Amino acid sequence: MEPLRIGVLGAARISDKAIVVPAQLTGHRLVAVAARDRARAEQFAADSGVERVLDSYQAVIDDPEVEAIYNPLPNGLHGPWNLRAIAAGKHVLSEKPSASNASEARIVRDAVAATDVKFMEAFHYRYHPVIARMLEIAGSGELGDLRHVDVHMSFPLTDASDPRLSLDLAGGATMDVGCYAIHGLRTLGSVGGGEPAVVSASAIEHASTAGMDETMEADLVYPSGLTAHFISSFTVPEMDFTMRITGSEGEAFAHNFCVSSIDDRIDVTVDGQTRTEEMGKKTSYTYQLEAFADHVRNNAPIYSDADDALIQAELIDAVYQAAGLPVRPASTI
């Protein structure tokens, strides 16, 4: 496969593991980067093997050698810069959530549909064997009649200045880690009869920002009657990225369904007997970049395209509305 020629918007913390290392492992080129602070961009390029530093995000998009954009900017800047990249005819790998709300996600979806551009929302976990195996177990009948799914997506966030706590930048626990919980539950729709719907939700707001959720939990139900619950929080003592599927005959438990390179174990318990399956420590980000490249080069199907991103954003908005909080505002450049 001809290497992708990728431009990076910003020098975000996530970029090293989400795009730099995967590109190194798969042979794709990081052609250009820009950041608000040029010195930071130059350091990022030197550390990461990016070929050149440009003066602005728009310059990266306009670079004729760049064919795909990786967008790891703060949440509120995903939609506007995704639209800029699409308008320039560039393929887009956008960090999640790829838009601030469903209205913006619909605009992005329509822009993609009007072009030949390939778009992927970066739900990297969806491309790892752990979630594929959880789906396989759930659908195999081994657990009996499926009863309930429980997902935890929480980690401690202690920096009050972090943009993930900015309402203007579409922050919040639901937008950050919670969107993985929601997408994970949506992924299980194939064994639940379709997309889940929100039954109820409740949030704990950040003390200094009205409307900003530092904890969110919600109950959902699938068309089959299978129930689900998730909790996402910034106020826990340690990371908890778990998924538990319970049936009438047993359960399957993924120790870290989201970042499985940290812990790739799945425990399957049936008739009081537990076996542990290990699915491999290759990073989900590497699987994701491989899938994105195959989508761009060969039109291979993906799980998190612009149509999926719209459905995802609609469910996120529904969670906020059920909890009595405002949906996240869209930003402008």
Q: Any idea which residues carry the catalytic annotation?
A: 96
C-beta separation of 108 from 102 below 8 A: no
Strand segments (E) across 38-181: 52-53, 68-71, 91-94, 119-121, 146-154
Token representation of residue 203: 């949030």
- The number of helix segments (H) and strand segments (E) in the chain equals 12, 14
Q: Which residue has the tokens 């070929």?
A: 51
What is the full DSSP assignment across 167-235? TTTT-SHIIIIIHHHHHHHHHTHHHHTS--EEEEEEEEE-TTSTT-EEEEEEEEE-TTS-EEEEEEES-
For the sheet containing 29-34, what is the strand order?
A: 52-53, 29-34, 5-9, 68-71, 91-94, 119-121
Dihedral sign of CA atoms 250, 255, 261, 265 in order: negative
Signed CA dihedral, 206, 235, 241, 20: sign only:
positive
Q: How many residues does the chain have?
A: 333
How far apart (Å, rounded) are the C-alpha atoms in residues 130 and 112? 30
User: Partners of 213 in the beta sheet?
Assistant: 205
Contacts of 139 (CB under 8 A, 6+ apart): 190, 191
